[in-house]
């Protein structure tokens, strides 16, 4: 009779997401995972299959939690420019213990590119969620008269999305938050 698991699988996935986010996929060894997760290799393999399967679960976990927080920030009431600025500043400055780590999805994309179809599907889906969330805020601004009615929403989405990716990389590179804020202010000002 197999022994019952003595750990919370979701907590382990969350901790694995933190480790992969810090080190990246290739630099994270099974030994690193064993130490961080306090699991033996056999428990790791029995529960998750292999490092790649655990990585996919960790990426899914991050997407679900990070996307929910980002969406809540974009859905809040208030002037559209202020909502966008606050959201972009939140992205650019990291959050507490995660400051300087960048975005797990962006880090994964820059590390793995298009080499892994399962990872690419997940990163592209995450990027599309971000684009859609930005578009919704911009459309609200156009509808409510806060932004020009003739704003090229799709063009503005692509501009802001590209800025998001750059901000996340610059945050990981520990660039001066004041310079990042200036970039954000310029981008918001370009909306008309």
Q: Is residue 79 part of a domain?
A: yes
pLDDT at 5: 53
Domain annotation covers residue 23: no
Widest Cα–Cα separation across the chain: 67
Q: What is the pLDDT of residue 1?
A: 44
Domain count for the chain: 1
Check residue 96 and give its pLDDT.
57
**Amino acid 95: pLDDT:** 61
182: domain CATH number?
Answer: 1.10.357.10
**Residue 183 within any structural domain of the chain:** yes
Per the domain annotation, does 8 fall within a domain?
Answer: no
Q: Which domain holds residue 109?
A: 60-189
pLDDT at residue 152, rounded to an integer: 97
Note whether residue 169 is domain-resident: yes
Q: DSSP letters along 107-172, please?
A: HHHHHHTTS-HHHHHHHHHHHHHHHHHHHHHHHHHHHTTSS-TT--HHHHHHHHHHHHHHHHHHHH
Q: Can you list the residues of the chain whose pLDDT is less than 50?
A: 1-4
Q: Is residue 140 part of a domain?
A: yes
Q: What is the predicted pLDDT for the residue at 97?
A: 58
Output the CA torsion 152→155→159→161 (10° steps). 110
Looking at the domain assignment, is residue 27 inside a domain?
A: no
Asked if residue 99 belongs to a domain, the reply is yes
């Amino acid at each position: 009779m197999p022994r019952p698991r003595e750990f919370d699988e979701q907590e382990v996935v969350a901790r694995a997401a933190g480790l992969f986010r810090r080190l990246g996929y290739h630099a994270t060894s099974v030994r690193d995972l064993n130490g961080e997760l306090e699991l033996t290799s056999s428990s790791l393999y029995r529960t998750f299959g292999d490092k790649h399967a655990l990585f996919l679960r960790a990426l899914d976990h991050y997407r679900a939690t990070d996307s929910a927080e980002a969406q809540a920030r974009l859905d809040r009431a208030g002037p559209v420019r202020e909502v966008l600025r606050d959201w972009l500043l939140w992205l650019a400055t990291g959050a507490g213990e995660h400051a300087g780590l960048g975005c797990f999805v962006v880090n994964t994309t820059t590390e793995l590119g298009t080499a892994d179809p399962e990872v690419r599907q997940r990163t592209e889906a995450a990027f599309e969620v971000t684009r859609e969330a930005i578009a919704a805020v911009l459309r609200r601004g156009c509808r409510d008269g806060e932004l020009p009615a003739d704003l090229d929403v799709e063009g503005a989405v692509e501009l802001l999305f590209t800025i998001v990716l750059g901000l996340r990389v610059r945050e990981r590179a520990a660039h001066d938050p004041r310079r990042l804020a200036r970039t954000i202010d310029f981008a918001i000002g370009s909306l008309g």
